Homo-oligomer: A and B are copies of this chain.
């Protein structure tokens, strides 16, 4: 989302999910993407808005459209398996949209795992993929425990350092469970940048302990942070566990490094600090699929996953404000609610999408009803 819009005070809009996908598809096609790739990318972005992860939804469409129109993302590339050995494959995205490349990798990984029990697929020369959980959940619906990661633009300082190096590097996993997949999806940074941008827009304060200034200390100066992160001016997000080692920051930092290792050196892509060069983003992704049936009776494993989950949610609560939930439960509830009632878009996003409509000649996204959200 560009700066001009982040302080927009216009009216928000409630839209139908199907309209959102149709609008995104049309805009991406107009910008140069093949229709099936445009549809998939719009669907993955809309899934984030549906699930309440607004930072990874249509707020990002601008970057896709701009990238396609400028030619820094290829609209015609087709992901290609460039290496395969047993239960491992490497996909070259050829600098196309990230969604079709990663979906192809996941589907290939599921096929390999169904055959061989365990499979790993890496993607190189890729782009932004939306929410990693979408892919892990897709794989889990085929009966595998899946792990999906991606690297990203550098924003997180490794423990002890005063400069951004790692991406927010999410780790997502999903496992078949009795009531549908259990899906975990979280950045290895303490908070995502989107959370700071949202507080910035809303003029609300941030907690100390989420991000650091160029001096290597915590800061709560949101405007300086948001500008500094954008300009790579020494500001950085901190790893899960915070600065230093007293609260385990070295653990979050090491998990961020694991994602870099899998998605960078192993995949043959750039690592976060060297992404978005003159030849494209060159992001990397990594997918692991474990077929439940290779480990035992899949129904029995799924029943045990259900029993483990039930034991967790039956634990005595320690804080009235923090429900004991399984990963993904809040997102699933939000998805159901917004599928029924519509997806609320923030004023800044509405303004940006209207501008994209104008720019691409696509009919603007019509409101389900006008509301301020």
Contact = CB atoms under 8 A, between A and B. Distances in A.
Contacts of A266: 145, 175, 290, 292, 295, 301
Contacts of A157: 315, 318
A86 B115 CA distance: 8
A159 interface: yes
Given A318-B212, A318-B243, A308 B264 contact: yes
Contacts of A222: none
Q: For A88, A173, A243, A246, which residue has the most chain B Cβ atoms within 10 angstroms? A: A88
Interface residues of A, number: 90
Interface in A170-229: 171, 173, 175, 184, 186-188, 190-191, 207, 209-210, 212, 215-217
A295 B115 contact: no
B117 A316 contact: no
Interface in A128-182: 145, 157-163, 165, 171, 173, 175
A101 interface: no
A186 to B, nearest CB: 4
A295 B83 contact: yes
A2 B246 CA distance: 27
B145 A261 contact: yes
A311 B161 contact: no
Interface in A265-310: 265-268, 271, 273, 288, 290-296, 301, 304-305, 308
Interface stretch (A22-30, A247-255, A347-355): A247-255
A369 to B, nearest CB: 32
Contacts of A324: 158-161
A253 to B, nearest CB: 8
Interface of A: 83, 85-88, 90, 115-120, 122, 145, 157-163, 165, 171, 173, 175, 184, 186-188, 190-191, 207, 209-210, 212, 215-217, 240-248, 250-252, 254-255, 257-258, 260-262, 264-268, 271, 273, 288, 290-296, 301, 304-305, 308, 311-312, 315-319, 321-327
6 tightest A-B CB contacts, nearest first = A216-B318, A162-B318, A88-B117, A86-B116, A265-B304, A161-B315
Given A88-B117, A88-B290, 18 more contacts: A86-B115, A88-B295, A116-B116, A118-B119, A145-B261, A145-B262, A161-B315, A162-B317, A162-B319, A186-B250, A190-B241, A207-B247, A215-B318, A216-B317, A257-B326, A265-B304, A271-B308, A288-B288
20 contacts: A83-B296, A85-B117, A120-B290, A145-B266, A159-B324, A160-B319, A160-B325, A161-B324, A162-B319, A163-B316, A186-B254, A207-B247, A216-B318, A217-B318, A241-B252, A247-B247, A257-B327, A266-B292, A267-B295, A271-B311
